[in-house]
Amino acid sequence: MLLPVVAGVLFGAIIGSFLNVVILRLPEGRSLVHPRSRCPACGAPVAWYDNVPIVSYAWLGARCRACRGRISARYPLVEALTAALFGCSVVRFGLTIDLVAALVLLSALVAITFIDLDHRIIPNEISLPGIPVGLVLGSLRATVGPRAAIVGMLLGGGVLFAIAYGYEKVRRREGMGMGDVKLLALIGAFLGWHGVLVTMLVSSTVGSVVGLAAMIQRRETLQLAIPFGPFLALGAAVHLFWGEEWIAWYLSLSTV
């Protein structure tokens, strides 16, 4: 089992390096392929040996080889996070279709999280293609299946759309973007309707705590805007790894 886990971690670091490109370029409408990676400070192309995930950042001392400008810690963070998630997925699911679904979903969630934090948007280029991909992979999962995947997609998109529509009608302003609606539809397609419930529970709880803490710290009013996408991503990841066990435990309580 050790070899697949190591392979998963290494593969995750490589995918994380690509996700850094997605996070940086996709919101700006730039190509994800051309030009090759460059230093954002001086524009010098990054050689392949300076672009090894995680390792190059430490080897270069977090500075560009050409201009000695500081390299953001965001790059190794995304690479290390993706590597850890991929390694944990191999441990959790083994070499199964569930692993494939987990890796695709987690990659999308990592990219969406950092893009939403930076730009307050969830790109359609990720969420819209992700929904049919999620329906296919969710349908192939034994714990989800075709019916739960479809219901999850409809429930996920429908619940947040209803909340967003109701909030806008009552408060006369937008409180939740359609990007969040499409993201939860994507999550529901991958994880099924039960995944939507766990995701909503976790994301709303953690989001409320973080939002309240931020308002107290900044002495803001209830108008403080916090992107909800990262909390949905966290809730989806929690369900992906532990949700089925939580649901089984909860159902067992009702039979006692």
Question: Each residue of 58-85: pLDDT tens digit?
Answer: 998 899 888 888 989 999 999 999 999 9
Q: Name which residue leads in pLDDT, 34 or 141.
A: 141
Chain mean pLDDT for the chain: 89
Q: Which helix (H) or strand (E) element contains residue 112?
A: helix 97-119
Q: 191 or 252: whose pLDDT is higher?
A: 191
Return the closest-CA partner of residue 123 out of 138, 113, 134.
113
Tokens representing 6 are 């190591």
Answer yes or no: is pLDDT of 256 > 90.
no
CA distance 146 to 135: 7
- Give the pLDDT mean for 210-236: 79
Letter string b/e over residues 206-230, b meaning 16 or more CB atoms within 10 A of that residue's CB: ebeeebeeeeeeeeeeeeeeebbbb
In this structure, the number of other CB atoms found within 10 A of the CB of residue 35 comes to: 9
pLDDT band at 238 (very low <50, low <70, confident <90, very high): very high
pLDDT at 77: 97
State the burial class of residue 237 (Cβ atoms within 10 Å of its Cβ: 0-12, 13-18, 19+): buried
- The tokens for 220 are 């803001």
pLDDT on residue 82: 98
Task: Tokens for 200, please give them.
Answer: 């909503």
If you count DSSP H runs as helices and E runs as strands, how many of each does the chain have, helices first? Answer: 9, 0
- Cα separation of 178 and 57, whole Å? 36
pLDDT number for residue 176: 63
In which band, very low, low, confident or very high, does the pLDDT at 4 lie, cut at 50, 70 and 90?
A: very high
Query: Quick one: pLDDT at residue 160?
Result: 80
Q: pLDDT at position 19, please?
A: 97
